[in-house]
Amino acid sequence: MAKPFTFTDANFNQEILNSNIPVLVDFWAEWCGPCRMIGPIVEELAGEYEGKVKVGKVDVDVNPQISMQFNIRSIPTLLVFKGGQIVDQVIGAVPKQHLKRVLDAQLV
């Protein structure tokens, strides 16, 4: 089963903006309770969508540049990129089915 990528200030552009498949990015922090709740769901999605969607996480405390670039003010925030552009956004801990609908909409 695939694990989520770890996106950083250093690899963000290469891994996300230049990806030829949709990308789900989970902006999170270790101290954030809702982030810890949604973390296992993000891990499951990484396996379920392997090869179809690149799934990864950005620790906002370690990678402040990306967080500022995308104006992340609340975590967890999940951004969906397609063709290097943000196509959807989810803020807060949501059910897995909601995230699956968001991702499936980008696969049609």
Residue numbers annotated as active site: 32, 35
Amino acid type, 71: N
Cis omega (within 30 of 0) for bond into 64: no
Can you state the percent helix, strand and coil of the chain, rounding each to 5? 35, 25, 40
| 59: three-class secondary structure by DSSP | strand
